Amino acid sequence: MRSLSKPKILIIEDHHATLDAIRMIFEFEGYEVLGLSNAVALHQEVTTFAPDVILIDVLLGTTDGRSICTELKLSVHAHIPILLMSSRSGFQNSSYYKAHWDDYIDKPFEMEAITERIKNLILNKKQ
């Protein structure tokens, strides 16, 4: 029997307007969304919310989103797919990329592009 629960996405983005815009995109697409502007108490939030996928910005004030990815992938939350996003490019092609996050998208992005990437990550997780 198919589950009727909404897929869950955790978004970590420190720019409030961007966070609100992304939240609206995914709520419109039928997701349950938790938005965080920083990574304080991240593991507690991930444990409590139990997201199907996590979307993280690279630049989070004084925190580097890539280090958050590494922290999550080396924890009990390693099974959760991560989509990293940034307006800076170049680093996503390194070997580091393949080990610490599951996909990457450049900002700005089209609504269809980000929703498709998230859907694919969730589908791949279920397989």
What is this structure's pTM? Answer: 0.90
What's the CA angle centered on 15, arms 67 and 6, to 5 degrees? Answer: 80
Q: Is position 2 within any domain?
A: no
Q: Is position 76 within any domain?
A: yes
Helical axes 65-73 vs 42-49, angle rounded to 10°: 60
Residue 1 has pLDDT above 50, yes or no: no
Residue 98 has pLDDT above 90, yes or no: no
* Prior bond of 81 cis (ω within 30°): no
pLDDT in tens, 2-50: 456 899 999 999 999 999 999 999 999 999 999 999 988 899 999 999 9
CATH at residue 52: 3.40.50.2300
**What mean pLDDT value characterizes the chain?**
89
Range of 47's domain? 8-126
- Domain tally, the chain: 1
Q: Is position 1 within any domain?
A: no
- Do 82 and 73 contact (CB within 8 A), yes or no? yes
Q: Is position 3 within any domain?
A: no
Q: Is position 24 within any domain?
A: yes
